[in-house]
Structure 1
Amino acid sequence: NDRLLNVMNIPYGSTLLVKDGQEIKKGDAICSWDPFNNVLIAEIDGQVRLENVLEGVTYREEADEQTGHRDKVVIETKDKTKIPSIYVDGKEVKNYN
């Protein structure tokens, strides 16, 4: 039966666990995401420029022991003049902070 029973928005940054046309059953996982991390999606084409992204001041590096992958994790800083920001310089400039 081809009835539409429910519509839900998929959060940005989700990992899709199903394919188009795939048959699923009640209780099957459709997608997964980390609710504690927000993902920013670039709204324009351009070149990235980081401002106030300072190791030990506004971010720290964390390593995954199993994979060796390293991530930069933004941290709270005592210096309120140092606000980490990402600029995308293109036909226009977009600021994310």
Structure 2
Amino acid sequence: MKIHFPHDAPQYCGPDLVVTFPALVDGERIDCSITAEALEDHFGAPSSREEDAMRAFDHHRHRIEHAARRMLEEVGKKPVILHSGYFRFYD
């Protein structure tokens, strides 16, 4: 399975409190997300506000994409959501 993360701008979804970013898995676009809670708990975001979550994502994008890659390798071509617990146990 070939996984690539294009440098498209991530999107913040306020109602869901997630930052969503794309992955290309064997050429197919798959949405990946990380919760604002995970960004607060593990990546230094001071709050779940958009500007705080996006800044934490930008500063730690490589590490977050690495975690998304591991999850995509486990679940295949399905959207993934990285919750705080994932980083507690697998990071």
- Rg larger in 1 or in 2? 1
Normalising by the residue count of structure 1, what TM-score does the alignment of the two structures yield?
A: 0.21
More helix by share: 2
